[in-house]
Every structure is written in C-alpha cells, then in structure tokens.
Chain A
C-alpha cells in the first residue's frame, strides 16, 4: 500500500509540493480553502524581474496536477488529530482525510495597510496597495483607473508594514523593493509622462537581475528614488495627497504632492498558518512565521515528525524560491515516507 501525504494550501508551494510528491509515487490530498488553486500567484499580473506573465507560471504548476493528487477545494479544516504516525484531518463539510505526512503550505497574507493609519489607506481616495495595482494591471482597466485620478505624479511607498516596530513587524519582506521597482516601470510603460517617486529606506535588490532592474528604472524610465520613509500623508482638497518624508540624503524634511500613492505592503503569516500552527503545536518565530527544525540545514521539516513546511509559511519568499523550496520539501516528505 502506497504512503499518503496531505498538503494544506493550494498556492505555489502547495501545488509544486503536490506535483513533485505525486511524481515520486506518493498519494496526495491537496486541501485549498479557496474555490481555485494558485493562491496569491493568481493576483499578480507580471512577475519580476523579467516581467513575464504570471499565468505562465500558474500553467506550469497546473500541469503538475496529475493523477495521484486528490483536490479538495473550498475545504476548511476543522481539526487535525495525530495518532500512531497517522494524521487525521476533519474538514468542515464532515469529510475526514488520513495521511502519513502533513505539509503546511498555507503561506502568507499581505499586511493590512489600514494599520498604518497615518498613510490614509481606506480613508484617502487615492491611496492604493501594490496588490490592488496588480489587480488593475490584470483586469486591463488600468488606463481608465489611472486616468480617472489624473495621475501625473505617483508616489510608491516601500516597507509598508515591514521593518516597522509600530506595525509589529521587525522583519524585512524582501520582495516589496523589487515589486515597487517593477510596478514603477510598468506604470511608466502605460503612462510615459507620469513622474514616479519611490520612497525607500534601503533598496534590497538581493536577487539575480534585481539590481539591473533598478538600474533600468533609473536610466531608461527616469524613476526617482528618495531615501526616506513616509511619515504621514494627508489629503488635499483636490484629492491629491501631500506626503511628508525626510530626504535623508540631503538631511532635509521634504513635502510633495502626489496624485496617487501606492503602498508596497509586506508579508505577514496568514491566519490559517497561525491557526494550524496552534493546532499542531508548531513553533513560531519572533516574526510569527513558522520555524523549521533547523534554520540552515533542516529547512523543510519541523520538530514534529511527519509535519513539513513549504514556501512562505517560513517567511517572505518570491515565486522562484518558493518553487525550489517546495521541491526540497517534496524530497524530504518522500524520504520520510520510505
């Protein structure tokens, strides 16, 4: 009788882990609470750094959804029991699933920008998040939207909800920087006469071709970068926004009117990740993301035998790293099930 694994979360990490495990001959149950697979990947229009369409990556992942994977969509977990090396998961619709291993791939959610009250998200008309901008890009109504607010000058705010004790998140979300630069370029492609300012603390262009994108943004698109964190925004009578930052490279406070403010919201662990962690007794780090058994070496298993982690439950990560991590998890699971 072949061994079985349950993967919770049908996003990038969950899909790739499932696909790889199925390839390795493991019977997989993939549980997703949404009516569709793909998770956040479905929200992104184009991916950094090469600006390829995210659907292409989704198509790749979907091709892995072959025999040996049982999909459970719209499925909410009500509880998890472990007895004698077996995990029993009760779903809210009364179904019960059993397996020999459990992979947590419930990922993250974006920071709720309303918590940074002084940025006026949800209050001022022309403050949106990077996620919303992606939605606009995806729905191809972007031109109308941006024209609607007569956007000529756009401010992009880095580190919203990241590296911020006031937001309760000390960690860096890593990918907002490159997202901001990508989106700045994309806006410029649509509206060549827009003036774009990125307000950043550090530009953490850590991965391959990221720095080159920053270079391109400056050289080709004339996007301007002002080093300083937004302290507060206020709305003008004409619905434009006044932003106040310190231009730290000149050592002077600066105020500027922008027509649209885009908040680069960071990663926080998804509530589902935290709920499952509490159910299973998994260890959370100071940043509330889940801890693997060892940060450097045993990066895909947990201290509980049979419970594995994949993707952004362990902290902010991009698509490529998530897929790589998912494969590593699959190997670990397969190894465990031998």
Chain B
C-alpha cells in the first residue's frame, strides 16, 4: 500500500464542512437501533466542542427509506426534503447536518437534481407552498454527522482519555471501517476521500490511535439494502451479503468494525448473531464476535464516557472485549440496569455467540 497514493486521492476529494451553527436532523431508525449514538453526538458537539446546534421536533423522516424501497415517488421525497429545509430556514440555520447516511444521500440527490433541473426545484416549492404554506432556502452546507466528527477529530483526540491502542501490547488496534453506501457511492465528490477510498472514518481511526485494515470486500454493501431486509423473503440475501464481508475480513483479525450509517452497524452486529445461530459460525476471538461500533460511540469511548451511557449494552455482539483492550473500566453489573439503577433483566444468551464476557 502506498499511502501517498491514497493521500493524493484524499486530497482530490475534500469537501467543505461548516464550522458551527448546525441544524441537526435525526435518523428514523437509529434511535431504535443504537439510541445512545445521536445523544452522544449532541453531547460531544455541545459540551465538548461548545458548538451551536439546533433540533426541531417537527422534523420528520426524509422519506429515504420509502424512496429506496420504491414506495414513495421522487416528487414526494423532494417535497418532504423541502419541508426539512423550511424548518431549518425558519430556525435561521443554513448548515444541515444529517444523522443518517441515506438522508445525506437523498438531500445530496435532491440538491443535485435541482441544480440540473431548476424547474423541479420550482415545482417542489409550489408543492410545499400548497401543502404547508412554507418557504425555504437551500442549505449552504450539507454534511453528514460523521463529517463533523471527522472535522473535529483532532480536537477530540486532544481531549481523549483512551486511545485505540491495546493497553497490554501497546500496539494499535486493528479496525475495519465500513462506509454507508449512500455516503459517497452516489456522489463521490460529496464524501471525504471519495467513493473508492473514503477517508471519513479512516481519519478518525488514525487520529485516535488505531490502524485501519483494508480487506477485499471492504466496498461491499453491509447487506441491509432496504428491499433485501425489509422484504422477509429477501433476508437470506441480506445475511449472505454480511457473511461475505465477515468471511473476507476474518483473516485480518480485526478488533472492531467502525461504521457511519444507521443500517450498517445494525446488520453487521445482528447478523453475526443470526449466522451463529444458523450455521454455528462466529467471528473474532473466543466466539465473541467482532464488536461493531458507530463513530459516535467510538468518539464517546475515546473521550472517556461511560460505555453504558453510550448504549453499548444494546449491541448483540458484546463490546466488552474492545473495552478490555482499550483499558476502559466498566461495571458489568450495571450493564442491564436503568439510569436509576433499576434491574431491567438480562437477555437470553445466544447458543454459540459468547454474549456474557464473564463466561469466557
């Protein structure tokens, strides 16, 4: 690997990311999948980095899921996107930050469409006016939340309490990064580092002390693919895609998988469980699986936040092996207790996948 070659490409794919004053739009599904992540993003931006960030509770889905599952026409999507823009305009913001990769992709797609077909923008304005009476300004900057973390990765590193280094061996942890398809595969120029060698997560990993592992199926989809998962009959295809990735990364012995998309961590995490149940096959050391984290979770860990405050207890593949390697202390007893210390009950252990670290 010639790192200069990659750096040359990364140089070509630089994008502008706003400095401050963000209008944050949440993801439909992440709050269920990994509820601690968005909360952590807000905490980092507002309390660590002291940035101005605004949310509007009337924000709805961007319709990306519906659009990509072929049940919502593009005109509808454009109008819904226009409404989010109107909420932002009304709040006096112009820097849009999306939590969701698909939203990021859809916003980029809509803006690009309007750029090439101004009449569609005009039409959308009419639709929005008729439906809601709102007006909007197009955002000055559209970034994905991972772009923001990427931008401030060095500040986070400065404040960090832990790094991606194995505390026993002193060696960097081996991290596999997985970029959501809609981040830069649609518009390579809108992603940091482009489509072939995206840099957004690589930059975080490198600056936080880890080592990035490239592996043959790095570019392959996580398997979510909307229709693949949402239609039950297609789920075999979804899990097969994930398995292809696991099989490909396994020989590289990654310590963790880092993701920046709502669906990817969900499927890379949960399918490890499903594969272990269906075929008895597990990845990672001691049948523990390969922990899958969102970039917000990882940033939180680096900054020394309590793992259970980050929501790591909702992961199917236990994150404890990673915590152990990084030397992050945690109280196993508190894993399944509520904020007030109330016992929430323990989930049933999977057949093969080692879920409870203590059993190891």
Contact = CB atoms under 8 A, between A and B. Distances in A.
Interface string A265-288: 000000000000000000000000
A9 to B, nearest CB: 30
Contact of B196 (A117, A236, A244): A117
A255 B1 contact: no
A117 B216 contact: no
A125 B194 contact: no
B196 A124 contact: no
A121 B197 CA distance: 12
B309 interface: no
B8 to A, nearest CB: 7
A202 to B, nearest CB: 26
A125 B214 CA distance: 13
B215 A234 contact: yes
A193 to B, nearest CB: 25
B347 interface: no
Interface string A119-144: 01111110000000000000000000
B212 to A, nearest CB: 12
A232 interface: yes
Contacts of B215: 234
B214 A235 contact: yes
Contacts of B216: 234, 236, 242, 244, 255
A256 to B, nearest CB: 11
A250 interface: no
B218 A234 contact: yes
Interface centre among A114, A120, A244 (most CB of B within 10 A): A120
Nearest to A257: B216
B219 interface: yes
B252 interface: yes
B252 A124 contact: no
B198 to A, nearest CB: 11
A124 B9 contact: no
B189 to A, nearest CB: 12
Contacts of B219: 118, 232, 234
A237 interface: yes
B2 A125 contact: yes
Contacts of A121: 5
B218 A122 contact: no
A325 B216 CA distance: 46
B21 to A, nearest CB: 34
A114 B197 CA distance: 12
Contacts of A242: 216
A119 to B, nearest CB: 9
Contacts of B196: 117-118, 232
B101 to A, nearest CB: 20
Contact of B194 (A117, A120, A235): A117
Nearest to B215: A234
Interface string B1-40: 1100110110000000000000000000000000000000
A123 B1 contact: yes
B57 to A, nearest CB: 41
Nearest to A242: B216
B6 A123 contact: yes
Greatest chain B CB density within 10 A among A234, A236, A255 is at: A234
A117 B218 contact: no
Contacts of A118: 196, 219
Contact of A123 (B9, B218, B251): B9
B1 A124 contact: yes
Contacts of A122: 2, 5, 8
Contact of B1 (A114, A125, A244): A125
Given A117-B196, A118-B196, A237 B252 contact: yes
Nearest to B251: A237
A124 B197 contact: no
Interface in A94-127: 114, 117-118, 120-125
Contacts of A114: 5, 8-9
B48 to A, nearest CB: 34
B255 to A, nearest CB: 15
A120 B214 CA distance: 12
25 contacts: A114-B5, A114-B8, A117-B194, A117-B195, A117-B196, A117-B197, A118-B219, A122-B8, A123-B1, A123-B2, A123-B6, A123-B9, A124-B1, A124-B2, A125-B1, A125-B2, A234-B214, A234-B215, A234-B217, A235-B1, A235-B214, A237-B252, A239-B1, A242-B216, A244-B216
Interface of A: 114, 117-118, 120-125, 232, 234-237, 239, 242, 244, 255
Given A121-B5, A123-B1, A234-B214, 12 more contacts: A114-B5, A120-B5, A122-B5, A123-B2, A123-B5, A124-B5, A125-B1, A234-B217, A237-B251, A237-B252, A239-B1, A242-B216
